[in-house]
Amino acid sequence: MLAKSVLFVVLLLAFAGSVAAQARFTTSADGLPAWVEHVGARSQPNDRRIFSANSFGAVNNGATDSTAAIQRTIDACAKAGGGIVAFKPGSYVTGSIFLKSNVHLRIDTHVTLIGSQDDAAYPSIWTRVAGIEMRWPAALININDQTNVKLSGGGTIDGQSLCLESKSVRTKDRAPTALTSILPATCSSNTAISTTTMTISV
């Protein structure tokens, strides 16, 4: 009986503490947590110079691997201080690309980025999977340790089923697991992702 009474008191104190903590939680005028107004992109790339991926060797035939050409374009754009990486209409096969500070990757209407089906196109990098730090294949579009980055446009990002069984991690007791994903942004700030009119499929 004594044990039950002690347990009841402990639970009551825990509940009271939880209520008190919630009472101290600050909200803004719209009822949302106050911290909401402090997150999200505060700025974005504003340089209007265009860096055409096609000028760096990207091919819009839906078959040629354009990973290196697209990355060269991004690197050149970043080195010049920023701007817009754009494409001529068409389909571009690509593996992992890494956006850099002050770069705006614009995927316009009639432009499609197609995820490569070659495992080697997704290099292993340190990342977090299910809360565990480990090496894992990079995503299709990566934003790591960068600032003032933007992704926008009315085009299409087609992952081509990045979790295809033949390209997945399979164990005896576990179903196929996707090797990679479309767009993670880690340790980055002021990352604006405007995909309202963009089609993204895995």
Please give the model's pTM, rounded to 2 decimal places: 0.69
pLDDT of residue 82: 96
Looking at the fold, whether 109 and 162 belong to one and the same domain comes out as yes
Same domain? 84 vs 130: yes
pLDDT score for 170: 36
Could you read off the pLDDT of 51-93 as tens digits, one per residue?
A: 999 999 999 999 999 999 999 999 999 999 999 999 999 999 9
Q: Is residue 43 part of a domain?
A: no
> Would residue 154 count as lying in a domain?
yes
Higher pLDDT, 94 or 159: 94
Average pLDDT over residues 7-21: 47
Q: What is the pLDDT of residues 109-128, one digit of tens each?
A: 999 999 998 888 989 888 77
Into how many domains does the chain fold? 2
pLDDT greater at residue 12 or residue 32: 32
In three-state form (DSSP H/G/I as H, E/B as E, the rest C), the secondary structure along the chain is CHHHHHHHHHHHHHHHHHHHHHHHCCECCCCCEHHHHHCCCCCCCCCCCEEEHHHHCCCCEEEEECHHHHHHHHHHHHHCCCEEEECCCEEEEECCEECCCCEEEECCCCEEEEECCCHHHCCEEEEEECCEEEEEECCCEEEECCEEEEEECCCEEECCCCCCHHHCEEECCEEEECCCCCCCEECCEEEEECCCCCEEEC
Same domain for 85 and 125, yes or no, is yes
Which domain range does residue 93 map to? 50-201
pLDDT at 45: 77
Does a structural domain hold residue 44? no
Residue 45 lies in a domain: no
